Chains A and B, each alone.
Chain A
Amino acid sequence: MNNVIIIGSGPAGLTAAITCAQKGLEVSVIDEYMKPGGRLLGQLYEQPDGSWWNGINESKKLFQQAVNLGVQFYLETPVFNIEKKDSLWVVYTDKETFQTTNLLLATGAAEAPVPIPGWTLPGVMSIGAAQIMTNVHRVKPGNRGLIIGINVLSSAIAMELKLAGVDIACLALPKNNQITHESAHPKKVLDSLLHVAHMAPSTFVKLGSKLMKNNFMKELGVTFYPRNGVKMWDIPIQLKKAVIEIYGEQEVEGVTIASISSKGEVIEGSEENIAVDFVCIAGGLYPLAELAALTGCPFHYIEELGGYVPLHNEQMMTPVEGLFVAGNITGIEGAKVAAAQGKIAGLSIAKRSGKHQLDEDLKDAVQQGADTRKNAYIQFHPEVDSGRRRIQEEWEEYLVNNTVQFF
């Protein structure tokens, strides 16, 4: 018997485990991956103060701290079902079945694919796959690649690939179709790209982030965007080129790319082939929340949070008694925010388990979470704050019509 089971050993799950264990709870963490750390493992970037955020080291530190506090880890253990029997959660895994009074889902995020002709060829992978291969397993995804999709994640990982000595032909947009719409529209992409501009040493993008505050300037920016792209970390960013097709007999041999208008329409006759041995698709992240759906927890679609999220309040409780959520399952944000949410969830769980005098701690932790969000180096969605407000409003509305068993 456990006081708490945490599914997911990323920054949210590990921090929650540490917090619960510090309060004297029996904690088990389950994760299907072979190493603890989740998406934190792959992260590697230079912070404003010049130091490097090294996800592998950060993961190791959190894991070690949890182990020292007596947290039990079950890695390489996929969870395939959860259900509630009487007042206990039953967690079914490939290896054994667990029971617990409190269940925290910290399952993180998954990558949205962008279907493009040729995308099932071996050598085509998600941008996160290339990141894990390169930084965690230390195997390059190939010698020369091209990245489809220009967003916060792909720009950051392009730089990481470059650091490891991987040649990146360019970042380009996907061809405009019913599925890709906004991610294939140069102006919309430029909008979101401005949020990573502070990470780029290129004067064009840096200046742009200050100059292009209003729509008129953005229109101008896209219209006069250099045909050959601008460079970030010496990698061409092609806002006015789209990938039409990935080609290859059995595996990736190259991509066909074409110039597009500022509205995203392909300019006929501008097609050219670029030889590469791998292609990354960066369609953005969405909350990985299937396990929450199994519990009957209500969901809401909130674009600013990355998609459907289980209903929860700022103390990381769901309306389902004994079910808590933390990290990217609640909305797409950086690792530091996820960790801050893990701490909140841990304190909420300790409170539900009968530990006293946690109200002040909980209040401080919620405030700390908000501060972390405000100071985040990478913002996945510029309007994430309003997304967070909306889910809180949904929660309050839910309380009007339903009774929720709190602590």
Chain B
Amino acid sequence: MTLRVTDHPILGKLEKKKAVTFTFNDKQYTGYEDESLAAALLANEIRTLRHHEESGSSRGIYCNIGHCFECRVSINGKQGVRACLTPLKGNMIVESHGKLPTPVRDWRSSDE
């Protein structure tokens, strides 16, 4: 079932927009040009945008207007870009960030 609201009782029909393709973690998807990347991903039913740098737990959009930085992804190689503030362009290469090696931790038990 599509999540796109194509017909709205008050806002009317969805205006025709140009479809473009992009990749997210090496898979190809279709979205509308200049819609937010977060919206394009959600319309493709993608909710997990990254994994937490330290815990590795999955994360997605939270505030959707740039305040919380939960939706940060890498776009065309640039890291830490907010998906909710980025207009989608054709051929965009989007990648999730994953868990990082944790430099600060309690090594005592594992190093013994």
Interface size class of B (residues with CB under 8 A): 35 or more
Which of B2-10, B19-27, B104-112 makes up part of the contact surface?
B2-10
Chain A positions 67 through 96: 1 when the CB is less than 8 Å from some CB of chain B, otherwise 0 = 000000000101000000000000000000
Given contacts A34-B36, A122-B49, A123-B60, contact A128 B65 (CB under 8 A): yes
B10 adjacent to A44 (CB under 8 Å): yes
Q: Which of A111, A252, A288 counts the most B-chain CB atoms under 10 A from its CB?
A: A111
Q: Does A110 contact B (CB under 8 A)?
A: yes
Q: Does A121 contact B (CB under 8 A)?
A: yes
Given contacts A44-B11, A78-B66, A143-B1, contact A251 B60 (CB under 8 A): yes
Which of A133-141, A177-185, A256-264, A294-302 makes up part of the contact surface?
A133-141
- Please name the residue on chain A nearest to B67 by beta carbon: A110
- Please name the residue on chain A nearest to B70 by beta carbon: A120
Given contacts A76-B87, A250-B58, contact A52 B10 (CB under 8 A): yes
| Residue numbers in B under 8 Å from A52 (CB-CB) | 10
Interface size class of A (residues with CB under 8 A): 35 or more
A139 adjacent to B11 (CB under 8 Å): no
Distance of A135 Cα from B42 Cα, bound (Å):
14
Distance of A133 Cα from B38 Cα, bound (Å):
9
Distance of A121 Cα from B58 Cα, bound (Å):
6
Distance of A165 Cα from B3 Cα, bound (Å):
10
**Which residues of A are interface residues toward B (Cβ below 8 A)?**
32-34, 39, 44, 52, 54, 56, 76, 78, 110-111, 113, 120-126, 128-130, 132-135, 137-143, 163-165, 250-252, 288
Please provide the 7 A-B residue pairs with the shortest distance between their CB atoms, ordered closest to farther: A122-B60, A129-B64, A137-B39, A122-B47, A140-B3, A138-B5, A122-B48
| Complex A-B: 21 CB contacts under 8 Å | A34-B86, A52-B10, A54-B10, A76-B87, A78-B66, A122-B47, A122-B61, A126-B64, A130-B64, A134-B5, A137-B38, A137-B39, A138-B4, A138-B14, A139-B3, A140-B3, A141-B42, A142-B3, A250-B48, A251-B47, A288-B67
